[in-house]
A and B are shown apart, each in its own frame.
Chain A
Amino acid sequence: MVKRVLAIILILITGYWLANALAQVPFGADKMLVGKYYLENVKEQTGAVNAVTAVVVNYRGLDTLGEVTVLFIAATGVAALLWRKKRERTAKSEGSVVLQTGSKLLLPFIMLFGAYIFIHGHLTPGGGFPGGATIATAFLMLYLAFREYEIPHNVFEPLEGLAGMGYVAVGLIGLIIGGYFLFDWIWQTWQLGHANIGRLFSAGFIPIIYTLIGLKVGTELTGIVDNMVKEPKEGGQ
Chain B
Amino acid sequence: MEEASRISRYLYTVIVLFVIWLFLTSSLDPQELIIGALFSLIVAALTYEVFTEKGLANLHPKRIAYAVAYVPYFLWAMIMANLDVAYRVLHPKRPINPGIVECKTVLRNNVGKLTLANSITLTPGTITLDVKGDRYFIHWIDVKDATVEGASENITKPFEKFLKVIFE
Asked whether B131 lies within 8 Å of A98 as measured between CB atoms, the reply is yes
Given contacts A97-B114, A98-B114, A108-B47, contact A116 B31 (CB under 8 A): no
Question: In the assembly, what is the distance between CA of A36 and CA of B29, in Å?
Answer: 31
Interface of A is mostly: helix
* Nearest opposing residue in chain A for B42, CB measure: A115
Query: Hey, which chain A residues are within 8 Å of B66, CB to CB?
Result: none
Residue-wise interface mask of A (100-126) relative to B, using a CB-CB cutoff of 8 A (1 in contact, 0 not): 111011011101110110010000000
Query: Hey, which chain A residues are within 8 Å of B48, CB to CB?
Result: 108
Asked whether A98 lies within 8 Å of B20 as measured between CB atoms, the reply is no
| Total contacts A-B at CB 8 Å | 66
Query: Hey, which chain A residues are within 8 Å of B35, CB to CB?
Result: 119, 200
Range for the number of chain B residues in contact with chain A: 20 to 34
Number of residues in A with C-beta < 8 Å to the partner?
21
Question: In the assembly, what is the distance between CA of A102 and CA of B35, in Å?
Answer: 27
Query: Hey, which chain A residues are within 8 Å of B16, CB to CB?
Result: 108
- Asked whether B166 is an interface residue with its Cβ less than 8 Å from the other chain, the reply is no
Question: In the assembly, what is the distance between CA of A101 and CA of B108, in Å?
Answer: 13
Query: Hey, which chain A residues are within 8 Å of B31, CB to CB?
Result: 196, 199-201
Asked whether A111 lies within 8 Å of B46 as measured between CB atoms, the reply is yes
Question: In the assembly, what is the distance between CA of A105 and CA of B167, in Å?
Answer: 14
Which A residues fall within an 8 A CB radius of B?
96-98, 100-102, 104-105, 107-109, 111-113, 115-116, 119, 196, 199-201
Apart from A108-B17, A116-B39, list 4 A-B contacts with CB within 8 A.
A100-B110, A108-B44, A112-B40, A200-B35
Leading 10 A-B pairs by shortest Cβ distance: A200-B31, A108-B47, A101-B114, A101-B110, A104-B50, A115-B39, A111-B43, A98-B117, A112-B43, A201-B31
